[in-house]
Structure 1
């Protein structure tokens, strides 16, 4: 356990970071809304505690000493952790039970963010936290109650359940007068998804258009990025059907000739064994299955 006399005050550390950033005591004082003398005093106290000089005065101003350069990134990280922890606690409602869901970025941005309030109506007593990661493994992620991943179809994922098989729609931003698939593909650039480049080959094989190869020179890692590229007129993309409901209903995008493919992937859900009986997990599981049916 550290003694209080061995730990610098937050005031002195904030002064140190501000002076290091501005390379000026006066500018740091202005940022911190204190006098220049107060900032100078905090730096002196900090240097005395550490037994090392943190700044060196030069003709053109002040610069960090080697000790200061070593100290700065660690202090910035520590202050950020304190700020994050404090803000998280302020924003959390400790009287509410929390449900933490770990999902892929596109699933969150193109579907869950619009639907989560519907779930909250079923379980208003829950505070829902959504985290996003793009792991290629179905593994429990820290404190998450539920983990959802899009993976190749398989019966060998332990402690998991297939929630939905993935169907991809061909989608573009404008209607076309073409009446055959080969003409449609030839008229537009094909936007690749870089993590699954085989999708276009699968699509072309299914519709016997293997000679078409006018790929867009810019590919994207996530479906939500590919969708934004489509909206900006960059070409055609293959996007999961349930992520396109809003755009298709509004007529913002079109699915030429109603073309689609089964990707060979599916959305798998994993829950820690000790949380399977949890009411909050069961509620979300039932709701999710119904929504994606």
Structure 2
């Protein structure tokens, strides 16, 4: 019987471009050149009798209707094949759990809690692995991810994905800035510190507060750690997830001036491969971190807003 299906190399290239919306980013994930990804997609289009899979423009690439159909028909199966290969290749170390977590969430929220978990399960070693911003969840050095949901992001079908926390954002400032803030409209006169990856956060806050004006953004920071530091130093007002500043709120280094909580629709999610066998202690970590997240959300620091 003559095989009609295309090669896995071509399908991997096609699905990477689908997932990332860019030939360049797909090449980085696949560790090849953009030209190699482009040639693989061209071969796939020719194999499918000159089927056009992408529309290319200066703004990027978008799937054609035929491209969407091919993605829907192949993505789950290619992902399952990759997972099967990883299952037989990946060495599992008993008593160890390898975790990849967004850096600021790791240092500000997870790490301060780990001693409590390790007191309960001293036999399980938690190993923090490098975080990748464009994660494809195919790594063989990670058991559990705590990752940020991104716009138009599609989780691989093999993953078990559970929302943890971080969907809500609040305005925060140093205590010395507080006397100038009597009403949310006072924000328009202040320096608005923002995360450069999410410049729309302040617009969400202004809309939620019923302010008709557009926010005039001040200083931008690529790292949430620097954003928090700038707010503590009184350089302006930041908008950030309460889970990132629990210690600063407790110590009085930062205050929430208004009971104004806004959902970004994003947040941090716990992800692990449901096809991988994990031990009882690893499962205990998965349950424990969900319990910790619920406790953080139920603490509701916004209810302690000063104004």
Q: TM-score, normalised by structure 1?
A: 0.61
Q: CA deviation at 1:176?
A: 2.5
Three-state SS of the structure 2 residue aligned to 1:258 is coil
Three-state SS of the structure 2 residue aligned to 1:191 is strand
1:8-47 to 2 correspondences below 5 Å: none
Superposed CA RMSD: 2.4
Of the three residues 169, 181, 184, the one matched with 1:181 is 184
Of the three residues 144, 147, 158, the one matched with 1:149 is 147
8 Å contact from structure 1 (residues 101, 131) kept in 2: yes
Equivalent-residue separation in structure 1 for 2:95 and 2:245 (angstroms): 32
Equivalent-residue separation in structure 2 for 1:232 and 1:180 (angstroms): 22
Q: CA deviation at 1:261?
A: 0.7
Of the three residues 198, 201, 206, the one matched with 1:199 is 201
Question: Cα–Cα, structure 1 residues 136 and 202, in superposed 2: closer, same or farther, change >3 Å?
Answer: farther
Question: Cα–Cα, structure 1 residues 247 and 149, in superposed 2: closer, same or farther, change >3 Å?
Answer: same
Does residue 227 in structure 1 map to residue 228 in structure 2? Answer: yes
Unaligned segments of structure 1, at least 5 residues: 1-94
Q: Residue 161 of structure 1 corresponds to which residue in structure 2?
A: 161
Equivalent-residue separation in structure 2 for 1:153 and 1:286 (angstroms): 27
Three-state SS of the structure 2 residue aligned to 1:197 is coil
Equivalent-residue separation in structure 2 for 1:266 and 1:160 (angstroms): 16
Equivalent-residue separation in structure 2 for 1:169 and 1:234 (angstroms): 17
Question: Cα–Cα, structure 1 residues 191 and 262, in superposed 2: closer, same or farther, change >3 Å?
Answer: same
Question: Cα–Cα, structure 1 residues 152 and 140, in superposed 2: closer, same or farther, change >3 Å?
Answer: same
Equivalent-residue separation in structure 2 for 1:140 and 1:274 (angstroms): 13
Equivalent-residue separation in structure 1 for 2:152 and 2:193 (angstroms): 27
Q: CA deviation at 1:189?
A: 0.7
Deviations 1:232-276 (A, max 9, x none): 111111111122222112211100022221111022222133434
Structure exhibiting the larger radius of gyration computed from Cα positions: 1
Equivalent-residue separation in structure 1 for 2:136 and 2:265 (angstroms): 16
Does residue 281 in structure 1 map to residue 279 in structure 2? Answer: no
Equivalent-residue separation in structure 1 for 2:126 and 2:274 (angstroms): 20
Unaligned segments of structure 2, at least 5 residues: 1-92, 295-307
Q: Residue 74 of structure 2 corresponds to which residue in structure 1?
A: none
Of the three residues 100, 115, 118, the one matched with 1:117 is 115
Question: Cα–Cα, structure 1 residues 117 and 258, in superposed 2: closer, same or farther, change >3 Å?
Answer: same
Equivalent-residue separation in structure 2 for 1:248 and 1:138 (angstroms): 35
Deviations 1:72-111 (A, max 9, x none): xxxxxxxxxxxxxxxxxxxxxxx97221100101111111
Aligned residues: 197
Three-state SS of the structure 1 residue aligned to 2:179 is coil
Three-state SS of the structure 1 residue aligned to 2:105 is helix
Question: Cα–Cα, structure 1 residues 260 and 134, in superposed 2: closer, same or farther, change >3 Å?
Answer: farther
Q: CA deviation at 1:168?
A: 0.9
